[in-house]
C-alpha cells in the first residue's frame, strides 16, 4: 500500500472517528481525560500500523474500538508509574477545555462506572454504548459469551444501584 494512500485514508478515518473513540475512552477511563487521550493515541497509532488489516475488517470502526478496549485492559494491568503520559495536547488549550452539558449527571455516571471492575466497564461500554452484541463483545475481550453475560449482569446490577439518584428505572436497549 502506498504511504500516500494510507495517510489519506487514515486521516479520513481519524477525522470521522476520533471524537467517538475519545468518548468511549472517556467512559473506560471514568473521566480521566489524560488517560482517555493516551488510550486514543495508542489506539490510533496501532490503527495506522495495521491500517491494511483494519481496512479489510468487516467493520473498521468496531475494529478500532476493539483495539481501544484492549489498550484500556492492557493499561489497567500495567503499573501506574510505568504509564507514559500524553505526548501532545489538543490543538488549542483555549478551545480544548470543554464542559459537559450536565456536569452533575456526568459526575454521577462516572462515579457509577468507577465502581465497576475494568472488565465490567469494558463490557458496559461495548454492549451498551457501542451496541455490540454478546458474541462481538466476547470476541473483542477475548472471553466466552457466558463470561460476557455474567459480567454484564453484575455490572448492570451495580449501575442500577449507583444510578438510583438519576433514575429509578434504568433500562437497556441490548438484550443480555
Partner 1 sequence: MTDLTDLLDRASDLGEPPMPVADDLTRGRAALHRRRRRNGLVALGSMCALGVIAGFGAPAVLDRPAEDSPRVVETPDSELFAANQTEGPYTFGKLPVGWEVQGSYPQGVTIAPVGFPDQEPASFVGKLVIMYDQNPVSGEHREYNGREFYTNTEGDHDSVRVRTRAGEPEGIVSVQYPDSAGWDVETMIEFLDAVEVGQGALPGLG
Interface residues toward partner 1, by CB under 8 A: 3-4, 7-8, 10-11, 14-15, 18-19, 22-24, 26-27, 41, 44-49, 87-92, 95-102, 105-106, 109-110, 124-125, 128-129, 131, 156, 159, 163, 166-167, 169-173
**Minimal distance, residue 165 CB to partner 1, in Å:** 11
**Minimal distance, residue 170 CB to partner 1, in Å:** 6
CA–CA dist 78, 62 (Å, integer) = 24
CB closer to partner 1 out of 132 and 141: 132
Crossing angle for the helix pair 33-49 and 60-77, to the nearest 10 degrees: 120
Name the DSSP class of 1.
Answer: -
**Minimal distance, residue 13 CB to partner 1, in Å:** 10
CB closer to partner 1 out of 82 and 103: 103
∠164-170-172 over CA atoms, to 5°?
155
**Minimal distance, residue 128 CB to partner 1, in Å:** 5
Classify 25 as helix, strand or coil: helix
CB closer to partner 1 out of 82 and 93: 93
CA–CA dist 64, 57 (Å, integer) = 10
User: By CB neighbour count within 10 A (0-12 exposed, 13-18 middle, 19+ buried), where does 138 fall?
Assistant: buried
Amino acid at each position: 500500500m502506498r504511504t500516500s494512500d494510507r495517510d489519506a485514508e487514515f486521516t479520513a478515518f481519524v477525522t470521522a472517528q476520533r471524537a467517538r473513540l475519545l468518548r468511549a475512552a472517556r467512559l473506560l477511563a471514568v473521566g480521566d481525560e489524560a488517560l482517555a487521550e493516551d488510550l486514543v493515541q495508542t489506539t490510533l497509532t496501532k490503527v495506522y500500523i495495521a491500517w491494511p488489516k483494519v481496512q479489510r475488517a468487516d467493520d473498521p470502526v468496531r475494529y478500532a474500538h476493539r483495539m481501544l478496549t484492549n489498550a484500556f485492559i492492557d493499561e489497567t494491568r500495567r503499573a501506574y508509574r510505568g504509564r507514559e503520559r500524553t505526548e501532545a495536547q489538543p490543538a488549542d488549550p483555549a478551545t480544548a477545555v470543554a464542559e459537559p452539558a450536565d456536569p452533575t449527571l456526568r459526575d454521577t455516571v462516572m462515579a457509577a462506572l468507577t465502581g465497576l471492575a475494568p472488565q465490567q466497564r469494558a463490557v458496559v461500554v461495548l454492549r451498551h454504548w457501542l451496541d455490540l452484541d454478546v458474541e462481538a463483545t466476547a470476541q473483542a475481550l477475548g472471553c466466552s459469551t457466558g463470561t460476557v453475560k455474567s459480567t454484564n449482569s453484575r455490572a448492570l446490577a451495580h449501575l442500577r444501584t449507583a444510578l438510583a439518584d438519576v433514575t429509578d428505572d434504568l433500562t437497556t436497549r441490548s438484550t443480555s
